[in-house]
Amino acid sequence: MNEQWIPWKPITHFKDHYGIAQILYDKPKLTIVLYPWEKNIQEVTIIFSAGVISYSFADDVYALEMPHYQRYSKEFLSSSNFFKILNSSYIQNLSEQFQTSENFESYMHFVIGSVDGNIDIISSMEPVIIETDISANDRSQE
């Protein structure tokens, strides 16, 4: 089975251009805060409340050298910040490394890409998405 990268739109009106503001892992919770590249777009917080067995961050230069990023064109990878990976080689590698009876078929592979780098997340649960109106925050600080 070949690995397939599918653009992921957890919210239909998601804009595709975000940077990574913060990554916080407080076991078992992984929180990722993204800032928008454009004005008047909401900040996005992605929360995996449980189920994360692995995550990794690679800066953009390093990530593009990794084999699973080289299967797709730069145009395709830059078309979205959010991907779900089907038939993930990352999950396959983890299942071989752990050598346990755990069923890795129930895990999902998510990739969040930005100008700052790429985050690969392996989780048994979909994340919760929270949007924050940045302009409201900016006004409250004046």
Per-residue pLDDT tens over the stretch 10-68:
776 666 678 899 999 998 899 999 888 777 678 889 999 999 999 999 886 555 555 55
| pTM (whole model) above 0.85 | no
Q: Check: CB of residue 17 under 8 Å from CB of residue 35.
A: no
Query: φ, ψ for residue 61 (rounded to 5)?
Result: -65, -45
Q: For residue 76, what pLDDT is reported?
A: 67
Distance CA 38, CA 105 (A): 37
Q: For residue 139, what pLDDT is reported?
A: 38
Query: Which three-class secondary structure state does DSSP give residue 107?
Result: coil
Residue 73 scores a pLDDT above 70: no
Distance CA 127, CA 76 (A): 23
Q: Which residues are CB-neighbours of 90 under 8 A, at least 6 positions away?
A: 54, 68, 109, 120, 122
Distance CA 24, CA 13 (A): 25
Q: What is the mean pLDDT of residues 93-98?
A: 85
Each residue's pLDDT tens digit, 97-132? 877 657 788 899 999 888 788 899 999 999 999 988
Q: For residue 60, what pLDDT is reported?
A: 64
